[in-house]
Amino acid sequence: MSLRIAGIGAMASVGHDAAEVFENLCAGRGAPNVLRGFDRSWFTADQLFEIDDRPVPGADVPGRATAFLLDVVGQALADAGLPAQLDDIPVLVGTGLRELRSVELWWRESAKFPVDRLHFGTALRERFGAVDTHTFANACSASLYALALGADLIRMDEADTVIVAGVDSVTTSMYGLADRFQPSPPDRVRPFDRNRKGTILGDGAAAVVLRRDTGRHGVLRSVGINCDARHPTAPDRNGITSAMRLAHELAGVRPRDIDLVLLHGTGTPLNDEVEARAFGEVFGADAGRPLLTGIKSMTGHTSGSAGVLSLIVALRALATGTVPPITAVDDPIDEVAGYRMVLGTAASEPLSMAQVNGFGFGGVNAVAVVEAAR
Amino acid sequence: MNLAITGVGLALPGDASITDLLGPVMARACAVDPASRLGRKGLRFKDRATQLGLCAADEALRAAGLWNPDLAPDERLTVPGESVAVVVSSNLGNIDTVCRVAQTIGEEGSRSLSPMDTPNASSNILASDVAIRFGLRGPNLMVCNGATSGLDAVHWASTMLRSGRAEYVVVLGVEPDNEMVRQLTDTGRVLDGAAAVVLEVPEHAKSRGVTACAEVGRYVRTAGMAECVDRLTSVDTPHVWFTPEGTGKRPEALAGTMRLDIAGRRGLCYGALGVLQCAAAAGWFAQGGDGPVLALAGNDSDDATAGVLLYAGATGD
């Protein structure tokens, strides 16, 4: 039995569907824009990677995360050639911030917001007739956590098809706390650059159709999941190396089998250093072999959707041999010296196996291994 | 395969025990005071839901023999940290932080925020704080899935055990009471409590000499109550039915079966309900009650109904 990806769907500030997102990332197109949904006077920072879909410019509305989710699930189903009627097919949604932006609009601006819209099951049932829906709020590794559990359902013969999605729309509370934290606001996201100043959040959503034995986009070999159990916000190298090793063990691969790594790469001082060191420790003598890239310099940090969004980019890279670059890096940190970082412009070479990293607040780690379709 | 409940922990108003869950709530029951149960250390800056969750998890882990606070710090967890997963259900857990922070931003700007609110703005803080306090390095899942969430969390715990991702899972259901959640849910009172159960494979419990206080059997999730009841009663005939919240005295389903409304007068239990029902099933069996027990969460006005069958420990199916 193999677990295959039969359909993909994605949206982010860089594109409205998976093809457009991948094309723009490969071309190095993508940057934050000035804040459009929040009042700029509240913050020192003024940049955000938004999907600006508000009906009236500048006036934020409830339910945007749900709308993104329904869009990408619809894309993935259509891409898989499945009807938009899910019934008992499980839908597992990973999210960092649920519909908390709607809660903010309800509390501060008296927007109408029924509590049964805080999770995504109500809307998924309305749109797709789905009854087996699950909302996991697992911070920035949420969608890869959902992928792990979705894969388990198929392996355990409890489903033949599972929809796995990730979604997030940025909250003012998380944006404001990041703003409070950062000594000076970053104007760009510069993962692994010596002068990186931190991350900038972004809206995003991604979905895949995971099926037993059928699917043209690639093979899911494993997802390793664990928890650092160390600190509420700081990443831990031991937890991250364990998650990578677990993913390799479950996939039955060695570091030398991996051709491409989609790094979590948030552009925060701590994440990038810890992730680079953990990669070096796990890959050892093979650390100079795989290509290394990440998407957050062009999409921003899309929180719970980031993992499956990166997974889709990895699948497209495996299928096309083209790897989007990390942009905005002028002076790479010492920790990545000797690694094959894809910086500035896209790389091109045959690839067959990729690793996708996702790490979240609270030390929740998830690492996936995917293989090109043959 | 049934799974054993080998530890139960509660953090409920009036210090209720598992058998108290079966009866009416004491009027004017005192709110849980986490500092008196856990000590003040490590509770500062943690939101109410997290503090309640830590109390219930502490009690459940001790009851299951996985945590011994009398030992040296690195020996308190009596099994390897990576063998223990955490699955938490809560829908309203960090609503207070999000609303309060958004309000401060709107009134005074982001410079007036406390960085200590940062972890609490992410909904998974409950699950990760339980892992941090007890050193639980297995999978760590935060389920925020509406009315069915507590029983869904039990299902994901069961999935993790059966797939081999963990050997033990602490499943926690929590909802806090505060001004924001009362307004958002349009209810006068929310539970302000937590329940936790430790799940493991029965043979595993037996091999380490631990007695199961209940077993968790089949789980189904359906579009409505009637279908959920039909599918579970085709597996086994329940002796007791723990009803979904807000079902009232509707007669149509399971007419001859004894009903218990665990949510009852405790206030809205929401994401905590399913785990409270599992704890209450342990209480039912402890006082000599027969199984199977049917636990249902989510009524016909919710997006789905989830149901679980529970059995007395060691009798199995």
DSSP A340: E
Contacts of B152 in chain A (CB under 8 A): 134
| B214 in any annotated domain | no
pLDDT grade, residue B315 (50/70/90)?
very low
Nearest partner of B83 among B24, B29, B45, B136, judged by Cα = B136
- Confidence tier at B316 by pLDDT (50, 70, 90): very low
As a whole number of angstroms, the distance between CA B244 and CA B263 comes to: 8
Are residues B238 and B179 part of one domain? no
Is residue B20 located within the same domain as residue B103? yes
Q: Is the pLDDT of residue A255 over 90?
A: yes
Whether A226 contacts chain B with CB within 8 A = yes
**Which residues in chain A are contacts of B103 at CB distance < 8 A?**
107-108
Which B-chain residues 170-229 have CB contacts (< 8 A) with chain A?
180, 184-186, 221-223
Substitution target from B74, B88, B141 for chain A, most A beta carbons within 10 A: B141
Note the pLDDT tens digit of each residue in B229-265.
999 999 999 999 999 998 876 667 788 899 999 887 7
The residue type found at A335 is: E
pLDDT bucket at B24, cuts 50 / 70 / 90: confident
CA distance linking residue B125 with residue A217, whole number of Å? 34
Domain hosting residue B261, numbered range: 220-312
Average confidence score pLDDT of chain B:
94
Q: Within this chain, do residues B23 and B172 fall inside the same structural domain, yes or no? A: yes
How far is the C-alpha of A94 from the C-alpha of A98, rounded, in Å? 9
pLDDT of residue A29: 97
Same-domain check for residues B305 and B165: no
The last residue of one of the domains, among B187, B208, B229, is B208
Give the chain A residue whose CA is nearest to the CA of B118: A177
Measured CA to CA, the distance from residue A40 to residue A48 in angstroms comes to: 11
Same domain, B34 and B144: yes
Same domain, B164 and B235: no
Residues of B in contact with A98 (CB under 8 A): 123, 144
Instruction: Identify the pLDDT of residue B8.
Output: 98
Residue B317 lies in a domain: no
Could you check whether the bond before residue B292 is cis, i.e. omega within 30 degrees of 0?
Answer: yes
**CATH architecture of the domain with residue range A3-212:** 3-Layer(aba) Sandwich (3.40)
Query: Same CATH fold, A219-372 and A3-212?
Result: yes
pLDDT of residue B317 exceeding 60: no
From chain B, the residues in CB contact with A155 under 8 A are: 163
Q: Where are the alpha helices (DSSP H) in B148-221?
A: 149-162, 179-185, 202-207
Number of domains in chain B: 2
- In this model, does residue A312 exceed pLDDT 60? yes
CATH number for region A219-372:
3.40.47.10
Distance CA A18, CA A36 (A): 24
Query: pTM for this one?
Result: 0.98
In terms of domains, do B127 and B245 share one?
A: no
How far apart (Å, rounded) are the C-alpha atoms in residues B32 and B251? 35
pLDDT at A97 over 70: yes
Residue B228: list chain A partners with CB under 8 A: none
For residues B204 and B230, membership in a common domain is answered with no
A79-103 average pLDDT score:
98
3-state secondary structure of B172: strand
- Reported as a single tens digit per residue, the pLDDT across B263-277 is 877 899 999 999 999
Amino acid B100: pLDDT: 97
| Final residue belonging to a domain, choices B151, B176, B208 | B208
Identify the pLDDT of residue A181: 85
Domain-embedded: residue B213: no
Residue B128 and residue B89 in one domain: yes
Residue of A nearest to B163 (CA): A152
- For strands A364-371 and A218-227, give the pairing: antiparallel
Residues B180 and B236 grouped into a single domain: no
State whether B156 and B241 are in the same domain. Answer: no
Tens of pLDDT, residue by residue over B177-211, are 999 999 999 998 999 999 999 999 999 999 999 99
In a domain, B147, yes or no: yes
Ranges of each domain in chain A? 3-212, 219-372
CB-based contact A133 B304, cutoff 8 Å: yes
Whether residues B202 and B242 share a domain: the answer is no
Whichever domain contains B175, its CATH number is 3.40.47.10
Task: Decide which of B152, B173, B208 is a domain's last residue.
Answer: B208
What is the model's pLDDT at position B247? 81
Cβ–Cβ gap B103/A107 under 8 Å: yes
B131 vs A362: CB contact, 8 Å cut-off?
yes
